[in-house]
Amino acid sequence: MGFLKKELLDIFVTYKIWVVLAVFLFFALMSPPVAKLAPEIVGSLSKTQGITIEIPTPTIIDSFAQYFKNLSQIGILAVILLSIGLVAGEKTKGTLQLVVTKPVSRANVVISKFLAQTFLFTGSMVVGAAICYLYTISLFEGKMLAKFLQANLLYIIFYILLITITLFFSTIFRSQIAAAGLSVVGLTILTILPGLHEVFAKYSSASLLNIANKIIYGKASFSEATWPIIVSIILIISLLALGIFIFNRQEL
């Protein structure tokens, strides 16, 4: 618990919490007005080109869709960039050697970093989602709270899996570049799997994002995410265990 407290404190000391929170607040504050003003923006641009483009009146769905689009792009990039140095960065600096020479197990190091990073992104996502929802219902008619919460939960689970993948490669490699590169490769593999076969589409963790987006549009139910959630939990536990196993046998 002592090392976990240190990791949680570092989040605030290094201002990482404010950086991540700012990213999600940006998504939350920009998505609703962008969706609301989309017809006017497109209309003004089309006039300059001498063409006419008609866009349907935006709804609450468009606002949420814009928010999750940002989460699936910039948000994922933020997770990888802010997680690649969790262990690899300390290996390079040599600070990790000082930690493990104290009565702190390597397993404790990995688990504490995982929990702290999960707290950082989950907490920021909850704040961002709350503000996005309140801002959206002030601009659009409708509520859709249940669907919005379900979609956010699926994104949170996927983010935690992505944190685990990045932490895994950060644990087994000393180079942050290698950790980042292989994390992107892992993400790419997860992303393309659903399109290869219907079995992958049903069980793959990457289906979480697709199902979340479909929930917003009313084209899927939360129950469809049951297997992707189970597979994600298994992957998280397995990668943490394997990472600790390899880390315990590494020379620092």
Task: Name the least confident of 97-101, 188-192, 202-206.
Answer: 97-101
* For residue 129, pLDDT beyond 80: yes
When pLDDT is averaged across residues 84-95 and rounded to a whole number, the result is: 74
When pLDDT is averaged across residues 195-223 and rounded to a whole number, the result is: 88
Q: Is residue 252 part of a domain?
A: no
Q: Is residue 172 part of a domain?
A: yes
Q: Which DSSP helix (H) or strand (E) runs through 23?
A: helix 16-48
Token reading at 169: 């490669």
**b/e 203-239 (16+ beta carbons within 10 angstroms → b):** bbbbbbbbbbbbbbeeebebeebeebbebbeebbeeb
Confidence of residue 36 (pLDDT cuts 50, 70, 90): confident
**b/e 152-167 (16+ beta carbons within 10 angstroms → b):** bbbbbbbbbbbbbbbb
The average confidence (pLDDT) of the chain is 86
> What pLDDT, in 10s, does the model give residues 134-184?
999 999 888 899 999 999 999 999 999 999 999 998 888 877 888 888 888
Predicted local confidence at residue 94, as pLDDT:
65
What sign has the CA pseudo-torsion 248, 249, 250, 252?
positive
When pLDDT is averaged across residues 115-119 and rounded to a whole number, the result is: 94
Confidence of residue 5 (pLDDT cuts 50, 70, 90): confident
The amino acid present at 189, given as its one-letter code, is I
Q: Is residue 61 part of a domain?
A: yes
Within the chain, what is the greatest distance between any pair of CA atoms? 71
Predicted local confidence at residue 58, as pLDDT:
83
Q: Is residue 112 part of a domain?
A: yes
Q: Is residue 125 part of a domain?
A: yes
- Structural domain harbouring 159: 2-247
Q: Is residue 17 part of a domain?
A: yes
Higher pLDDT, 180 or 99: 180
Q: Is residue 211 part of a domain?
A: yes
* For residue 118, pLDDT beyond 80: yes
Q: Cα 80–15–101 angle (5° rounding)?
A: 75
**What total number of domains does the chain contain?**
1
* For residue 38, pLDDT beyond 80: no
Q: Is residue 129 part of a domain?
A: yes
